């Protein structure tokens, strides 16, 4: 099992009010599965994604990912874990605007201890995998939205993490680009055995996943689809 969430809750203060976006959530995701999370705004999708990616910690419960109980890790350990185990794909790509596609994809490897030649090889492979081998030297401003997202996906997979989390990866793209991105994610799942958790509002995007779960008020409602 790649992901095991047991009674995971997350609360925080907003002023003097306690907000609980996730409440006693249980979830299991097998290795290699492509899971879609849907739900209205404020349902806790992004909070769950942040917990799974290790950029946030649960208030209570146990979160075991790739064999590590990340809910017990300290901040420094969590950062190191994140670098090896998770690739994050943002809705708005969040590429560094002054860096080229190559340099953006290389970012996760800069602290890995790999040699320059090894990094170059890995970045080249990642860019080739997303179909942008010929766009090494292009800055984000010189790429279309779909291409930017593919660079962001290359950045997410370049360190070869077993888990990819994607926060509405097609939310800012036209239909054709969105379709290509979803195909790419599926390929990564089937060919690279990546486990993918994707938050989306788009039913068409969710249809590309192996399974779709609905969240509402911090709790899972149903299991809609298994392909």
Partner 1 sequence: MIRSFINLLQLAWLQLVRHRLRSLLTILGVASGMFLYTSVETIQRSLSAATEMTAADTTLVVYRENRFCPSTSRLPEYYSEEIRRMEGVREVIPIQIAVNNCGASLDVITFRGVPAETLTAYAPEIEIIAGSEDEWLKRDDGALIGEVFAQRRGLIPGDRFEAVGVIVTISGILRSPNAQDNNVAYVKLPFLQQATKLGLGTVTQFNVRVNNADQLESVAAAIDEFFRSAEQPTNTRPEKAFFSETASELIQLIRFTRWLGMGAVVAVAALVANALLLAVRGRIKENAVLRTLGYPGLAIGCLVVSEGSMLGLIGSAVGVGGAAAFLAWQSFTMGNEGLTLAIQPDAPVILTSMIAGLALGLVASIWPAWQAMRQPIIQSLR
Residue 15 as a binder of partner 1 (CB under 8 A): the answer is: no
Q: Which is nearer to partner 1, 82 or 208 (CB)?
A: 82
* Shortest Cβ 87–partner 1 spacing (Å): 9
The pair of structure tokens assigned to 176 is 């054709």
Residue 202 as a binder of partner 1 (CB under 8 A): the answer is: no
Whether the Cβ atoms of residue 214 and residue 204 lie closer than 8 Å to each other: no
Residue 149 as a binder of partner 1 (CB under 8 A): the answer is: no
* Shortest Cβ 117–partner 1 spacing (Å): 12
Q: Which is nearer to partner 1, 107 or 133 (CB)?
A: 107
* Shortest Cβ 114–partner 1 spacing (Å): 8
Q: Pick from 2, 39, 50, 182: which binds partner 1 (CB under 8 A)?
A: 50
Q: Pick from 27, 90, 102, 205: which binds partner 1 (CB under 8 A)?
A: 90
Segment interacting with partner 1, rule: CB under 8 A, options 89-97, 120-128, 190-198, 204-212: 89-97
CA distances from 112 to 50, 108, 168, 186 (A): 23, 7, 28, 27
Q: Pick from 35, 36, 45, 82: which binds partner 1 (CB under 8 A)?
A: 82
Residue 211 as a binder of partner 1 (CB under 8 A): the answer is: no
Residue 55 as a binder of partner 1 (CB under 8 A): the answer is: yes
Interaction site with partner 1 (CB under 8 A)? 50, 53, 55-56, 76, 79-80, 82-84, 88, 90, 94, 96, 98-99, 103, 107-108, 110-113, 115, 155, 159
């Amino acid at each position: 099992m790649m992901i095991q969430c047991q009674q995971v809750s997350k609360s925080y203060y907003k002023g003097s009010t306690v907000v609980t976006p996730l409440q006693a959530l249980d979830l299991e995701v097998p290795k290699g599965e492509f899971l879609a999370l849907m739900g209205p705004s404020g349902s806790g999708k992004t909070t769950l994604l942040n917990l799974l990616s290790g950029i946030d910690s649960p208030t209570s419960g146990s979160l075991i990912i790739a064999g590590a109980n990340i809910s017990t890790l300290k901040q420094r350990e969590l950062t190191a874990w994140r670098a090896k185990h998770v690739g994050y794909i943002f809705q708005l790509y969040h590429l560094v605007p002054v860096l080229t596609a190559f340099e953006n994809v290389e970012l996760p490897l800069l602290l890995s201890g790999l040699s320059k030649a090894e990094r170059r090889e890995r970045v080249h492979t990642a860019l080739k995998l997303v179909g942008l081998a010929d766009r090494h030297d292009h800055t984000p401003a010189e790429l279309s939205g779909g291409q930017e997202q593919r660079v962001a996906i290359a950045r997410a997979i370049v360190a070869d993490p077993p888990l990819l989390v994607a926060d509405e990866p097609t939310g800012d793209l036209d239909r054709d680009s969105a379709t290509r991105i979803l195909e790419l994610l599926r390929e990564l799942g089937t060919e690279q055995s990546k486990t993918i958790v994707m938050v989306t509002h788009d039913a068409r995007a969710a249809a590309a996943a192996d399974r779709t779960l609905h969240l509402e008020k911090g709790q899972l409602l149903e299991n809609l689809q298994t392909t």
